[in-house]
Structure 1
Amino acid sequence: MNRHQLGQLIGANKRDHYYELHYATGEVARLYILSDGIFRYFLDPDNNFDESHTSFVDLSKFDNHLFEKSSPRATSDSLIIQTGNYQLIFQQKPAIMSVFDETLHHTRLVQASPLEIGNTDSVEILHQNKNEFYFGGGLQNGYFSHKGKEIEIKRDQIKGKGGVLTQVPFFWSNAGFGELRNTTTLGHYDFGSKQNDVTILSHNTRVFDNFYIIGNSPSDILNKYYILTGRPLMPPKYAFKLGYAGNFLSTLWQPSEAKQRNAEMYEDETYYVTTDNPENARGKASLNGEDQYQFSARAMLDRFKKERFDLGWFIPNYGVEKVDPQALSSFNNYANSQKVDPGIWTTESDNIPNNSSFVATNTSDAQLLNKDKQILRENLKKKRPFILSNTGIAGSQKNSALAFGDIGGNWENIATQVAGFLGSNLSGEPILGSAVDGTAGGGNAQISIRDFEWKSFTPLLFSIDNQGKFSKTPFAYNAKMTRINRAYLNLREQLKHYLYTLTYQAQLGEPIMRALFIEFPHEQVNYTPQVGHEFMLGPNLLIAPITNGREDGNGNSRKDNLYLPNHRTMWVDLFTGKKYLGGRVFNKLSYPIWHLPVFVRGGSIFELGNRNYLLYPQGKSEITFYDDNGFNDFSHNHTETHLTSNLESSKLKVTIDPVQGSYTGMETNNTTNLNIMCDTYPDRVTVRINDQEINMQEYGTVDTFGHAKEGYFYNTNFSWTPQFDQYQDPKHKQTALQIKLANRDVTDSKIEIEIQNFNYGNETLVHAITDSLLRSPKQPIIDPEKITAHSLTVSWPQLTDKVQIEVNGILYDGIDGDSFTFHELEPHTRYIMRLRYVSGNKVSEWSDPFGAITKRSALDYAIKNVQVNSNLESDAHHPLNYLTDLKLASEWETTESVSEDHPLTLTFTFGQPEKLSRMTYVPRNIDHKSDPIEVGVEISIDGENFTSYGERLTWKADSKNKVVGLRDVTAKAIRLTVYKSSGDKVAGKEVLFFRNKNSIND
Structure 2
Amino acid sequence: MQLNRHQLGQLVGANKREHFYELHYATGEIAHLYILADGIFRYFLDPNNNFDEAHTDLVQLENFDNSYFEKSRPRATSDSLIIQTGDYQLIFQQKPATMTIFDNHLHRSRMSQLSPLEIAPTQTCEILQQNKNEFYFGGGLQNGSFSHKGKQIEIKHDQITGAGGVISQVPFFWSNAGFAEFRNTTANGSYDFGSINPQASKIAHNDGIFDNFYLLGDSPSQLLAKYYLLTGQPLMPPKYSLGLGYLGNFVSTMWQPSEAKQRNANLFEDGGYYVRTQDETAASGKASLNGEEEYQFSARAMIDRFHKRDFPLAWFVPNYQVPVEAATFATFSEYAKTQGVESGLWTNSSPAFAKGFSFLATNDSSSETLKRSSNVLKELLDHKRQFILTNNGIAGSQKSAALFFGDNGGNWENIGTQVAGFIGAGLSGEPLVGSSVDGTLGGGNAQIAIRDFEWKALTPLLFSIDDQGNYSKHPFAYNHKMTQINRSYLALRKHLTPYLYTLLYQAQLGNPIVRALFLEFPHEQINYTSQVKHEFMLGSNLLVAPITNGREDGAGNSRKDNLYLPSHRMMWIDLFTGEKYMGGRVYNQLSYPTWHLPIFVKGGAIFDLGDRNFVFYPHGQSEITFYDDNGNIDYLHHHTETKVSSTLEGSQLTIVIEPTKGDFTGMTTEKATNLVILCDEYPDGISLKINDQPVKMQEYGTVDTFAHAREGFFYNTNYNLLPEFAQYQPKGQTALQIKLAPREITDSKIELTIRNFNYGAQTLVHSITDSLLRSPKQPSVDQDQITAHSLTITWPKVTDQVQVEINGILYDGISGDSYTFHELTPNTRYLMRLRNVSGNKASEWSEPFGAITKRAARDYAIHGVKVKSNYEANPEHPLAYLTDLKSASEWQTKDKFDETNPLTLTFTFDKLEKLSRMTFVPHNIDHQNDPTEVSVELSLDGQNFEPYGNHYAWKADSKNKVIGLRDVQARAVRLTIHQSSGPLVAGKEVVFYRDKSYFDKTE
TM-score bin, normalised by smaller chain: over 0.9
Which amino acid letter does the alignment assign opposite residue 103 of structure 1? H
Q: Tell me, yes or no, if the aligned pair for 2:683 and 2:756 is still in contact at 8 Å.
A: yes
Counterpart Cα distance in 1 of 2:946 and 2:117:
48
> Percent same amino acid at aligned positions?
68
846-855 or 342-351: bigger deviation: 342-351
Which of 159, 162, 180 is the equivalent residue of 2:161? 159
Which shifted more, 897-906 or 165-174?
Answer: 897-906
**Residue in structure 2 matched with residue 442 of structure 1 by the alignment:** 443
Q: Which residue is 2:24 aligned to?
A: 22
- Contact in 1 for aligned 2:398/2:430 (Cα 8 Å): yes
Displacement of 1:172 after TM fit?
0.1
SS of structure 2 residue aligned to 1:501: helix
* Distance in structure 2 (CA, Å) of the matches to 1:823 and 1:6: 47
Alignment of 1:645-660 (within 5 A): 645-660=646-661
Q: How does 1:400-479 map to 2 (within 5 A)?
A: 400-479=401-480
Q: Give the counterpart letter for 1:155 in structure 2.
A: H
Deviations 1:357-403 (A, max 9, x none): 10000011111111111111211114211100000100000010001
Moved more, 733-742 or 496-505: 733-742
Pick from 160, 174, 177 the counterpart of residue 175 of structure 1. 177
Secondary structure in structure 2 of the residue aligned to 1:755: strand
> 3-state SS of the aligned residue for 1:433?
strand
Maintained 8 Å contact 1:55/1:183 = no
Aligned partner of 1:689 in structure 2 is 690
Q: Which runs of 4+ in 1 moved over 4 A?
A: none
Is contact 1:650–1:757 with CA below 8 Å preserved after alignment? yes
Matched residue, 1:844: 843
CA distance in 2, matches of 1:988, 1:805: 42
What is the CA–CA distance in structure 2 between the aligned matches of 1:821 and 1:61, rounded to whole Å?
Answer: 55
Contact 1:248 1:297 (8 Å CA) reproduced: yes
Q: 1-side partners of 2:777 and 2:717: how far apart?
A: 46
Q: Extract unaligned runs of 5+ from structure 1.
A: none
> What secondary structure does 1:681 align onto?
coil
Hey, what does 1:77 align to over in structure 2? 79
Q: Does 1:304 align with 2:303?
A: no
Structure-2 residue corresponding to 1:932: 931
Letter in structure 2 aligned against 1:445: A
Aligned to 1:760: 759
Residue 666 (structure 1) shift: 0.7
User: Equivalences for 1:283-682 in 2 at 5 Å?
Assistant: 283-321=285-323, 323-682=324-683
Map of 1:120-135 to 2, 5 A cutoff?
A: 120-135=122-137
In 2, Cα distance between the equivalents of 1:353 and 1:60? 30
Q: Is 1:735–2:730 an aligned residue pair?
A: no
Secondary structure at the residue paired with 1:698? Answer: coil
Deviates more, 1:874-883 or 1:256-265: 256-265
Report which stretch shifted further, 954-963 or 442-451. Answer: 954-963
1:145 — aligned with what?
Answer: 147
CA shift, 1:51, in A, is 2.7
Partner of 2:185: helix, strand, or coil? Answer: coil
Residue identity opposite 2:685 in structure 1: R
Equivalent pair of 1:329/1:353 in contact (CA under 8 Å) = no
AA matched with 1:828: N
What is the match of residue 911 of structure 2? 912
Counterpart-to-counterpart distance in 1, 2:784 and 2:84? 61
Instruction: Return the letter of the residue paired with 1:90.
Output: F
Residue pair 2:433, 2:460 contacting (<8 A) in 1 also: yes
Of 221-230 and 970-979, the range deviating more from structure 2: 970-979
Higher mean C-alpha displacement, 141-150 vs 625-634? 625-634
- What is residue 984 of structure 1 aligned with on the other side? 983
Write the distance in 1 (CA, Å) between the matches of 2:9 and 2:940.
45
State the 1:962 CA deviation: 1.0
Write out per-residue CA displacement over residues 692-740 of structure 1, whole angstroms, 9 at most, x where no aligned residue. Answer: 0011101101111111111111011101101101111x4x431111111
Counterpart AA for 1:515: A
1:493-521 per-position Cα deviation (integer Å, ceiling 9, x unaligned): 00000000001000010010100000000
1:678-700 Cα shifts (integer Å, max 9, x gaps): 00001111000000001110110
- In the alignment, the residues of structure 2 paired with residue 841 and residue 816 of structure 1 have an alpha-carbon distance, to the nearest angstrom, of 15
Give the 5 Å matches for 1:870-881: 870-881=869-880
1:963 to partner: Cα distance: 1.0
Partners of 2:58 and 2:367 within 8 A in 1? no
Alignment correspondent of 1:802: 801
Q: Name the amino acid aligned to 1:297.
A: A
Deviations 1:569-610 (A, max 9, x none): 000000000000000000000000000000000000000000
Which digits, 9 at most, give the CA deviation of each residue in 1:139-196, with x for residues without a partner? 0000000001100000101000000010000000000000000111111111011011
Is residue 898–residue 978 contact of structure 1 (8 Å, CA) maintained in 2? no
Aligned counterparts of 1:953 and 1:706: Cα–Cα separation in 2: 74
Moved more, 419-428 or 934-943: 934-943
Q: 2 CA distance for matches of 1:200 and 1:761?
A: 48
Cα distance, 1:325 vs structure 2: 1.2
Distance 2:589 2:689 in 1: 47
- Say if 1:344 and 1:352, in contact at 8 Å, map to a contact too: no
Contact 2:239 2:632 in 1 (8 A): no
Show the counterpart of 2:97: 95
Q: Identify the residue that residue 865 of structure 1 maps to in structure 2.
A: 864
* Deviation (angstroms), 1:52: 4.0
- 1:522-551 CA distance string (max 9 Å, x none): 000000000000000000000000000000
User: Which range is displaced more, 798-807 or 366-375?
Assistant: 366-375
CA distance in 2, matches of 1:347, 1:867: 33
CA contact (8 A) 2:60 2:229 kept: no
Alpha-carbon offset, residue 47 of structure 1: 1.1
What is the rounded CA distance, in whole Å, between the counterparts of 2:367 and 2:314 in structure 1? 26
The answer as to whether partners of 1:383 and 1:630 remain within 8 angstroms in 2 is: no
CA distance in 2, matches of 1:52, 1:768: 61
The amino acid across from 2:49 in the alignment is N
Contact 2:867–2:880 under 8 Å retained in 1: yes
CA distance in 2, matches of 1:948, 1:107: 60
Deviation string for 1:603-646 (max 9, x for gaps)? 00000000000000000000000000122311010000001100
Secondary structure at 1:314's aligned position in 2?
Answer: strand
Q: What is the root-mean-square deviation in Å for CA atoms of aligned residues?
A: 0.9
User: Does the CA-based 8 Å contact 1:382-1:631 persist in structure 2?
Assistant: no
Alignment-mate amino acid for residue 211 of structure 2: D
- What one-letter code is carried by the residue in structure 2 that aligns with 1:719? N
Read off the aligned partner of 1:557 and give its amino acid letter: S
1:250 aligned residue: 252
Deviation at 1:928, TM superposition (A): 1.2
Please state how far the C-alpha of 1:774 moved relative to its aligned partner: 1.1
DSSP-derived class of the 1:967 partner: strand
For residues 780-791 of structure 1, the aligned pairs below 5 Å read 780-791=779-790
What is the rounded CA distance, in whole Å, between the counterparts of 1:170 and 1:671 in structure 2? 46
Q: Which amino acid aligns with 1:284?
A: K
Specify the code of the residue in structure 1 equivalent to 2:256.
Q
Once residues 347 and 467 of structure 1 are traced to their aligned partners in structure 2, the CA distance between those partners, rounded to angstroms, is 17
- Deviations 1:332-363 (CA, angstroms, capped at 9, x unpaired): 00000000000010124242441201000001
Whichever residue aligns with residue 63 of structure 1, its letter is D
Aligned-residue offset at 1:979: 1.5
> Would the aligned equivalents of 2:361 and 2:388 in 1 still touch at CA under 8 Å?
yes
1:215 aligns with 2:212: no
- CA deviation vs aligned residue, 1:548-577 (integer Å, no higher than 9, x gap): 000000000000000000000000000000
Q: Normalization by structure 2: what TM-score? A: 0.99
Equivalent residue runs for 1:44-55 within 5 Å? 44-55=46-57
1:205 Cα deviation (Å)? 1.4
CA contact (8 A) 2:63 2:229 kept: no
Native 8 Å contact 2:904 2:976 kept in 1 = yes
Match of 2:700 in 1: 699
**Deviation of 1:939 (Å):** 0.9
Provide the C-alpha distance between the structure 2 equivalents of 1:382 and 1:74, rounded to a whole number of angstroms: 53
